[in-house]
Amino acid sequence: MPEAVTADTAGRESFGSRLGRAMADRGPLCVGIDPHPALLHSWGLNDDVAGLERFSLTALEAVASLAAAVKPQVALYERHGSAGMAVLERVLAAAAEASVLTIADAKRGDIGSTMAAYADAWLRDGSALAADSVTLSPYLGFESLRPALDLAAQTGRGVFVLALTSNPEGASVQHVGGADSVARRIVRAAAAENERYAGALGSTGLVVGATVGSALTDLDLDLAAVRGPILAPGLGAQGATAADLRHTFGSAYGQVLGTSSRDILGAGPRIQGLSDAAQRTLEELRSA
């Protein structure tokens, strides 16, 4: 069993506590920084490293004062090779300078020393890729994530574990098991992890798609009992509204970090246009 903690060994505030405060102060919005080639072109940028950096830093500047967190999509930096990953390092550093929390959307998952290496890359103090949190895939077994879960707790960082995604293929794995589905086991495991965060929002979050509809009820998933943040991608262009989030997540809505990417990024390249789009989304989330 994990040991109870409220801060890391250096006395830093836990990720869940920091995120809860950011959501209360700014609102429950996460902006995905997704530099798809089509978006770069729509901004008049080339699909190269220079365009990648201009796009990413402009988006960050526009939303840094509005979003509780930003979520760079790691694959869209990896596709540019080592130079693209160097851009991601600069984006993470710029976000830290702007005091906006980061979620590295890497969806890492492995076993043993390999999982420990992934944890070192994204969660270790001093790593150039260290983010405030990282997304993880639990489908080699939830306990395979132990190196990342423990390092996150030790360094005041967090993780978001895939639990119930909105892609059609996800159900073939996540819904398996009926009353004791794979998704339900992941939810229970995350809840157990968050027992170590006494009194605060836990630092082991879940990824639950904003468009999962009735699946939460069908699978009898109690997200409120997780006591951790719920990253809900799919707001806006993917079809979900803030009202949908309120309806879908019910009593767990206060834990939900609504995530929008294309609806906001499509308002670029002007910073004011991006900020206005983020502000509209934020107001919808607050009033839902």
Domains parsed from the chain with CATH numbers? 15-166+195-212+226-287 (3.20.20.70)
pLDDT (0 to 100) of residue 10: 58
pLDDT (0 to 100) of residue 277: 98
Which residues form the catalytic set? 107
* 6 pLDDT above the threshold of 70: no
pLDDT (0 to 100) of residue 3: 45
**Least confidently predicted of 134-143, 155-164, 196-205, 278-287:** 196-205
Q: Are 257 and 105 in contact (CB under 8 A)?
A: no
Task: State the DSSP string of 246-268.
Answer: HHHHGGGGGGEEEEESHHHHTT-
Q: What is the average pLDDT across 93-115?
A: 98
Q: For tokens 């206060």, name the residue.
A: 254
pLDDT tens track for 115-130:
999 999 999 999 999 9
CB atoms within 10 A of CB 99: 9
- Token representation of residue 160: 């978001």
Which residue, among 30, 27, 2, 8, has the nearest Cα to 287 in the 3D structure?
27
Task: State the DSSP string of 82-135.
Answer: HHHHHHHHHHHHHHHHTT-EEEEEEEE---HHHHHHHHHHHHSTT-TT--SEEE
pLDDT (0 to 100) of residue 98: 98
* 1 pLDDT above the threshold of 60: no
* 214 pLDDT above the threshold of 80: yes
pLDDT (0 to 100) of residue 25: 97
* 90 pLDDT above the threshold of 90: yes
The model's confidence at residue 131, banded by pLDDT at 50, 70 and 90, is: very high
